Structure 1
Amino acid sequence: MLTTNQQLNNDSISRKKSSLFRWSTAFASVLLTASILTPAFTAPTAAWAEEVTDNVQQQAAAPYALTDSLQVEVKSLLNEKTNDGTRLAAVIRVKSQGTKAVKFPDLDLRVTTTDGQEYTLQASVLNAHVIRSQTVEELNYYVAVDRNDVFGLTELTWYSVDWYAYPKKETVQLSIPVSGISWNGQLSVPQNPADNRSWGEPFVLPAAIDSPIRYTPVSVSKDFGPDGPINNIVLLAENPSDGSHTVPDFTLDGKAEPGASNKLVFNGKRVEQGPIELEPKAKKYIHYTIPTDKDTVLNSFNVLTTETFQQVDAKGQVSAISYNVGRYNIQLPSGNGISAEFAEAPVYEAETAFHFDSISNAIDPNLSISLVEFHKYLNEGEGYQTAIAKYMLTNNGDIPVPLPVYQTKLLSQQGQKYNGTRQAAAASEIMPHSSYVISYSYNLPSDLEDNQMVVSFSDGKTAGVTGSSLGAYKVSFQASDPTASEMSFYPFNVKLNTWTLNAQTYGSTTSPITYTYRLMMDLDIVRNEKVTVDQNFAKLRLELIDPTGKQIGTKDLPFTGTNRIISGKQFIKFDNLRTDEQEYPLTIHMYEVIATPTGEAKRLVGILKQ
């Protein structure tokens, strides 16, 4: 009886002989392949190679000759542990080099493991049996094995089996080395170091996927949806070829370090639905969202493609088994790019036009956007501050331009982001050679003391939590003095010359006594006539405050319409007072009030004291 070591040595010798035979067969196949390889399987052209010189390495999937007229290459290889064992799967691309349709030979496909075990893969019921001339078919194979230990894969081998011989005769038709190319599940990373990329480094999908489109990670941000944090990743897709191409289906999975959550991988999905077609030399943003648990910080994401294996169950019903295969692991910037976003944003020059991303079509090229007012005010008794930004949109063209629906956010130096809320109603279009003012409000923490923030713009047309980034600028809050006699309500400038507040008493022996107050204001109002406003524009609100600080009356004064405030003396009567006695001294708070979908936003512009 052989000892354990003798048995292992004999097994090793047998495997080496078998491996040598398969290697020689594979080598002969490579020589044959080199002479009959068609352009579909060749390396990228010189022109395309020049396009991807900036750190993009095309993954070459080596083709092998299975027969005189059929070539094969490995598109995907899976070796994934599950709770029930291990899933092994392979997707093989087959191309016919002949001049007529060829039947795919009846062969067994087996995978060899690092410990010498060999498993036969089951063919999908939807695998093609005939390969038409000069076409490519994908064949899917799968098997689940009852193993929970860790092992690798070394070879894929096609066997021709003569079942009528006794004992049955097996002949190696082709063997392909596959060490280091299998995907080992969502917790793994690509085994090829070239497939582990830094943020901002472009990549193309493997050659076996047959797509020339190049992808570059350009933006990452975090938002909070109804169910928790959502990480938003934007890729720039570029088609460098001279033909149109559809973006292949792939997804992103976020990966986190062990921490408060036991979950380390978070599945993402593409925001854009349906096929994405890229014309020659075209560029387009693609958006992905990755929901995570609270306090989870992602440090990288995997780029994965999905494969599907079809099988027939015991009842004769066809069922599908889907799995993902990782292609790249891409590191996220430190802090998800928040600190870098603030540091890299340029300082905005007051009342100049913002420069936006030229790839996006969110902003009409004839439209310029500038910031004309940016104020911050602490809402007394509300526990938060309100920042109000007014953007002037100018149509420099000769035809009306639709009002763009863009989103804005404020980014603090500490990395917190605050969504902007657009005014409740706005015009639908901007007339030629005219301007329109639109307001956004931002709710900020009461203890936020930053005098400078980054305002970032994104495409509001994109379906998802955030759209495509258009640009970001550092902007400083404007100083506001509520005791000054001049107040800005761009495009209106209001100067208060004089004012008086008088009490009036009404009543008789037969009716109760009531009190009202009449305010006289002498105003000078100057307006920029080139800027259009409508009935949705901000209003001037007057709040009557008693000596205890309680509000006892209000009055809203519009800047547009028949009852608008005008230059000169005007009298405002406070009715429906919340008091049944005459008060003195009184204070009048003057606010700019803007209606938003989430309520009113107001800014203190003046204080009048008796």
Structure 2
Amino acid sequence: MTNSNHQWKKTALSVVLTASLLGTASMPSAMAASAAPEAAVTTDALKAASVGQASGTIAGTPLLQSYALTDKLQVEIKSLLNETTSEGTRIAAVVRVRSSDANVAKIPDLELRVKTADGYEYPMQASVFNAHAIRPGTTEELNFLVKVDRRSPSELTELVWYAVDWYSYPKKETVQLAVPVKGQEWTGPLSSFANSASSVLPWERSFTLSPALESPLVYTPVSVNRDNTPQGPVTTVKMRVENPSATKEAVPDFTIDGRSNGNGSTDKTVFPGKRVEASPLVLEPKEQRYIHFAIPTDKDTVLTNFNVLTPETFRQLDPKGQPSQVSYNVGRYQVALPVTSRTAEFNAAKPYEPGQPFVFDSLSDTIDPHLSVSMVEFHRHENEGEGYQTVIAKLLLTNNSDLPVPVPTFQTKLITAQGMTYSGNRQTGAIAEIMPQTSYAVSYAFNMPTENEDEQYVLKFTDAKTAAPASTTIGAYRVAMQETKLDVANMSFYPFKVKLNDWTLNARYNVPSALSPNTPISYTYRMKLDMDIARNEHVVVDPNSSKMQLELVDKTGRILSTKSLPFSGVNRLISGPQFIQFDTLRTEEHEYPLDINIYEVITTPTGEAKRLVGVLKQ
């Protein structure tokens, strides 16, 4: 009895000293009552620490309370698992041991047992890789596990270290240390964090994984995107990670699980996620960067929150004497995903000032910082007979540096005020890099229903490479549709401006020859164009850039012939007079009068999209 009382006082004193150092550590009520004189000394410190924690914006995992295992060794409960499945119950504990000894200290050969609320006590098996000694001023983590053949869940109440004298009969057992653990266990993916309100975080709340993990890195959820990929729906959570310390820090292994309210076609509510970036990932002092987590879901699943989980590993020997590994995760936080409406993204986007460079996420490396991106044209184009229209956004990529810059691989989406999203198809470019102090015009085509007549959209830029196959947003702006005026004296085929000075259209007869007297009379049309073509000399074009297309149309609206005229290449349009021959006609008669429709044509992955820019009438 005397030894037991001495041990109880020793443990209580250790708890009080630890609480005075950590500030927000809580004490079991019995221990606090027995240690009242010592606790009174630290009241002001506890109040100050509590105020600081409440007013801060960075959440931390619950403080790890220290207990004295020996005079020189302190223990903390880092992780505690109590997971019940159809195969039984798995109980695991990770214990952190700290040494204050000036010499190498032996870790006592003690037996660890776990007690449950229904009165059971289970001996736990030590990992074969557990340390047996600890160096001065260092920390070791010890792993323990027990599998119990029971399927009814029971709360864990205590971890108890026993000193067992195996040479006495009957064997003698002495409690070395008893640690209360009620409310600290993780019961698996469906845990609700009901006993730890500080672990339930709102969206965009910054957090650390310390002190559960000894890492100073700060994480902040910044965006969430849902994509339909060839492998199925994927929700991507993007987090900003910052290293506030003065030393290099590696991002520790942790993951997230997506949670839903079971609002899909299945009863599944937990969806495991995976970090996209491969380890190791090291941040320099004061560095910030993004990390991404991809969560595959069912087709009609809407995630409401996600759990932040840290991995643990227990190693044991299999029947052949080879080490085998048991891995599991322990939850640290539950983070609420933002509740957004279909129109939220449209309403949140900033208006775009025509001609000004877009501003992108500064932490994204998708677009070179020396490269500016602006929009030079935004028009609707026709797709006759195809059942849809095409919106074309022409973007100007300008290299402001003195070195070549690769053409970036960003993708785009258009979002309507009603929340409908249309993906952009980028023109196939023949240019891999942009020369210094030059620009390159690239077009993105968005196919959408013909009845859509919105005048404003949100143009969203996405990085489809970093978190592939999902995408992450790097910028979004509200853009206005440009009006096309049918003015043949001022036609735009960016980067070309075309002024039509004069034109004529004449029919030419092909009469039978002596060698082919039975050949019927046919017609062709020869058009003379006199144009002035001005070009922005600093903008590079390729064969997939805009072309001029001429259509011969009769008085009933029937297209008799078309001619496509490029602005680049050997047979390109030039300033001054030139002749265009319409050889293939859909008529055998001489038609008069005719209209000539002038279109800007852009080749997209789904076909040609054209925009009417002028009409000529005979």
Query: Normalising to structure 1: TM-score of the pair?
Result: 0.87
Which one of 319, 322, 325 corresponds to residue 327 of structure 2?
322
**Which residue in 2 is equivalent to 1:444?**
448
Contact 1:196 1:329 in 2 (8 A): yes
Q: Distance in 2 between matches of 1:407 and 1:220?
A: 17
SS at match of 2:564: strand
Per-residue Cα deviation, 1:417-451 (whole angstroms, up to 9, x for no partner) = 32222221143333333332222222223333322
The structure-2 alpha-carbon separation of the partners of 1:275 and 1:496, relative to structure 1 and needing over 3 Å to count, comes to same
SS at match of 1:320: strand
The structure-2 alpha-carbon separation of the partners of 1:30 and 1:487, relative to structure 1 and needing over 3 Å to count, comes to same
Q: Distance in 1 between matches of 2:293 and 2:375?
A: 30
Letter in 1 for 2:525: Y
Per-residue Cα deviation, 1:248-277 (whole angstroms, up to 9, x for no partner) = 111111111122332111111111112111
Trace 1:244-283 onto structure 2 (pairs within 5 A): 244-259=248-263, 260-283=265-288
Deviation of 1:398 after TM superposition, in Å, equals 3.8
Q: Distance in 2 between matches of 1:243 and 1:338?
A: 43
Deviation of 1:320 after TM superposition, in Å, equals 1.9
Which sits farther off after the overlay, 573-582 or 358-367?
A: 573-582
**Which residue in 1 is equivalent to 2:547?**
539
**Which residue in 1 is equivalent to 2:144?**
141
**Which residue in 1 is equivalent to 2:537?**
529
**Which residue in 2 is equivalent to 1:113?**
116
SS at match of 1:212: coil
Which sits farther off after the overlay, 126-135 or 297-306?
A: 126-135
Contact 1:92 1:138 in 2 (8 A): yes
Which sits farther off after the overlay, 189-198 or 159-168?
A: 159-168
Letter in 1 for 2:246: D
Pairing 1:434–2:435 present = no
Which sits farther off after the overlay, 18-27 or 581-590?
A: 18-27
Q: Distance in 2 between matches of 1:23 and 1:585?
A: 109
**Which residue in 2 is equivalent to 1:27?**
12
SS at match of 1:341: helix
SS at match of 2:346: helix
Letter in 2 for 1:158: W
Deviation of 1:205 after TM superposition, in Å, equals 0.8
**Which residue in 2 is equivalent to 1:196?**
200
- The count of residues paired between Structure 1 and Structure 2 equals 583
Pairing 1:512–2:516 present = no
Q: Distance in 1 between matches of 2:487 and 2:76?
A: 78
Q: Distance in 1 between matches of 2:103 and 2:556?
A: 96
The structure-2 alpha-carbon separation of the partners of 1:102 and 1:575, relative to structure 1 and needing over 3 Å to count, comes to farther
SS at match of 1:420: strand
Deviation of 1:330 after TM superposition, in Å, equals 0.7
Deviation of 1:143 after TM superposition, in Å, equals 1.7
The structure-2 alpha-carbon separation of the partners of 1:84 and 1:522, relative to structure 1 and needing over 3 Å to count, comes to same
Letter in 1 for 2:267: N
The structure-2 alpha-carbon separation of the partners of 1:586 and 1:362, relative to structure 1 and needing over 3 Å to count, comes to same
Contact 1:93 1:208 in 2 (8 A): no
Contact 1:123 1:140 in 2 (8 A): yes
Q: Distance in 2 between matches of 1:144 and 1:486?
A: 80
Contact 2:61 2:212 in 1 (8 A): no
Which one of 226, 229, 239 corresponds to residue 225 of structure 1?
229
**Which residue in 1 is equivalent to 2:317?**
312
**Which residue in 1 is equivalent to 2:209?**
205
Q: Distance in 2 between matches of 1:250 and 1:326?
A: 10
Pairing 1:286–2:271 present = no
Which one of 472, 489, 492 corresponds to residue 488 of structure 1?
492
**Which residue in 1 is equivalent to 2:383?**
379
SS at match of 1:30: helix
Contact 1:423 1:438 in 2 (8 A): yes
Deviation of 1:229 after TM superposition, in Å, equals 1.4
The CA RMSD measured in Å over matched residues stands at 3.1
Per-residue Cα deviation, 1:496-555 (whole angstroms, up to 9, x for no partner) = 344444443435244634543333333332223343334442222334456776655432
The structure-2 alpha-carbon separation of the partners of 1:145 and 1:448, relative to structure 1 and needing over 3 Å to count, comes to farther
SS at match of 1:27: helix
Q: Distance in 1 between matches of 2:21 and 2:58?
A: 31
Q: Distance in 2 between matches of 1:394 and 1:264?
A: 47
Per-residue Cα deviation, 1:73-109 (whole angstroms, up to 9, x for no partner) = 1221111121112221111222333233333222222
Which sits farther off after the overlay, 586-595 or 270-279?
A: 586-595
SS at match of 1:354: coil
Structure 2: runs of 5 or more not aligned: 23-44
Letter in 1 for 2:545: F
Deviation of 1:137 after TM superposition, in Å, equals 2.3
Contact 1:232 1:465 in 2 (8 A): no
Query: Normalising to structure 2: TM-score of the pair?
Result: 0.86
Q: Distance in 2 between matches of 1:20 and 1:154?
A: 21
The structure-2 alpha-carbon separation of the partners of 1:494 and 1:29, relative to structure 1 and needing over 3 Å to count, comes to same
Structure 1: runs of 5 or more not aligned: 1-17, 38-42
SS at match of 2:11: helix
**Which residue in 2 is equivalent to 1:81?**
84
The structure-2 alpha-carbon separation of the partners of 1:127 and 1:592, relative to structure 1 and needing over 3 Å to count, comes to farther
Q: Distance in 1 between matches of 2:93 and 2:571?
A: 76
Contact 1:590 1:607 in 2 (8 A): yes
Contact 1:59 1:205 in 2 (8 A): no
Which sits farther off after the overlay, 427-436 or 274-283?
A: 427-436
Letter in 2 for 1:30: V
Q: Distance in 1 between matches of 2:294 and 2:610?
A: 34
Contact 1:123 1:141 in 2 (8 A): yes
SS at match of 1:62: coil
